[in-house]
Chains A and B, each alone.
Chain A
Amino acid sequence: MIQFLSQPWPWCFGGFMIAVVLFLLLWTGKSFGMSSNLRTLCSMMGAGKKVSFFDFDWKAQRWNLIVALGVILGSFIASNYVVSTKSMALSQNTVDQLLAMGIQDAGKSYAPEILFSNSAFSNPYILLLLVIGGFLVGFGARYSGGCTSGHAISGLSNLQLPSLIAIIGFFVGGLMVNHFVLPLLLKILVI
């Protein structure tokens, strides 16, 4: 059991456990959606005084911020005390493609060192990439009214057509950038 849990989880178990989280949040009378926290953060910092979109009782959303804090601690625990390997069973295609683009740690680390190690802080180009990526995620999530948890999991589980449209959008944008833009961005990075 411990042996099983300390290995990277197979997709069926991971997916099932995400459904358990969905159930727990519905059972406690809440809903499952992480991107709302970004809106709550804006309100918390006083954005409601200037922009009506943020003028709501953010304290009613405190529970979700607490879930997010839990996620931080949970991943800290998992990465330090649960997981027994750093390697990842990526497909050979993925490893080869990324290697050709100059990313050498595919399959050997959890996230690419070039983007997510502390050295990224001193590279203005990488900082810019992270800023652009994050900005689009935050803007798009609120525009479409949800993210992977709110639309793909909560929305589809409730057979919501709008969520299906949003997910089609996620893939239209994601496929375009992944296939045509990201290779260029990474090329500049490696140079």
Chain B
Amino acid sequence: MKTAVFFTIGILFGIILYMSEVSSWFRIYEMFQFNSFHMYGVIGTAVFFGYIIVFIIKKIKMNSILDSTPIHIPTKQKGWKRYLFGGIIFGCGWAISGACPGPMFSLLGAGFFPIIIVIASATLGTFCYGLIQQKLPH
């Protein structure tokens, strides 16, 4: 049952990513060139409604539909180094591959098979972060 719920949410997200062109390398290129409002519009609208959703969930102390426990919305640890440095590294890769982790899976489904290389090396990148995590400023 739970598996079916999450699978369905995933299918919906996959359709959204593809249809709103967020998975397109071209759209990411265009975003960094400030040539079009499209990507800013998508992310901005998502954050606008996301903010309202999070606000309401907290306000009415909504419970989870699956196990009726209060919904917990995680907060991020304080600090700035890991966010800035990690973010810059992420951005460099994003501009080359044109795909962040969600769209990677989306492109695979859409049949752009070289993305498998990107997914594999992103997994390797994650592994390497785990290896040297303690030596990095956080």
User: Is A bound to B?
Assistant: yes
- A15→B44 contact, CB < 8 A: yes
Pick the contact of B9: A24, A146, A149, A181 (CB < 8 A). A24
Neighbouring A residues of B126 by C-beta, 8 Å: 35, 38-39, 41-42, 138-139, 141-142
Tell me the complex Cα distance, A73–B15, Å. Answer: 8
- A137→B87 contact, CB < 8 A: no
What mask results when residues 16 to 55 of chain A are scored 1 for a CB within 8 Å of chain B, else 0? Answer: 1111111111111111001101110110000100010110
- B26→A112 contact, CB < 8 A: yes
Instruction: Known A15-B46, A116-B112; judge A156-B89 contact (CB<8 A).
Output: no
Pick the contact of B102: A77, A131, A149 (CB < 8 A). A149
- A94→B65 contact, CB < 8 A: no
Instruction: Count residues on chain B whose CB falls below 8 Å from chain A CBs.
Output: 115
- B22→A133 contact, CB < 8 A: no
- B73→A158 contact, CB < 8 A: yes
Neighbouring A residues of B90 by C-beta, 8 Å: 136-137, 139-141, 143-144, 147, 166, 169-170, 173
- A156→B20 contact, CB < 8 A: no
- A139→B125 contact, CB < 8 A: yes
Is A132 interfacial (CB 8 A cutoff)?
Answer: yes
Neighbouring B residues of A28 by C-beta, 8 Å: 2, 5-6, 9, 64-66
What mask results when residues 119 to 137 of chain B are scored 1 for a CB within 8 Å of chain A, else 0? Answer: 1111111111111010010
Summarize B's interface: helix, strand, loop or mixed: helix
- B45→A72 contact, CB < 8 A: no
Pick the contact of B121: A13, A138, A166 (CB < 8 A). A138
Q: Please, which residue of chain B has its CB at the minimum distance from the CB of A47?
A: B127
Is A5 interfacial (CB 8 A cutoff)?
Answer: yes
Pick the contact of A18: B2, B35, B42, B129 (CB < 8 A). B42
Q: Please, which residue of chain A has its CB at the minimum distance from the CB of B130?
A: A53
Neighbouring A residues of B71 by C-beta, 8 Å: 26-27, 29
- A38→B122 contact, CB < 8 A: yes
Tell me the complex Cα distance, A117–B106, Å. Answer: 15
- A162→B93 contact, CB < 8 A: no
Binding site for A on B (CB under 8 A): 2-3, 5-27, 29-30, 32-33, 35-51, 53-54, 57, 62, 64-67, 69, 71-80, 82-102, 104-115, 117-131, 133, 136
Beyond A31-B73, A74-B106, A121-B113, 7 additional pairs, beta carbon < 8 A:
A22-B46, A34-B100, A74-B11, A75-B14, A78-B18, A94-B26, A111-B24
Top 10 nearest A-B pairs (CB, nearest first) are A70-B10, A169-B87, A74-B14, A15-B45, A14-B20, A173-B91, A136-B93, A144-B86, A138-B125, A140-B90
Binding site for B on A (CB under 8 A): 5, 8-31, 34-35, 37-39, 41-42, 47, 51, 53-54, 63-64, 66-79, 82-83, 88, 90-91, 93-94, 97-98, 106-107, 110-112, 115-118, 120-121, 126-127, 129-149, 151-163, 165-179, 181-182, 185
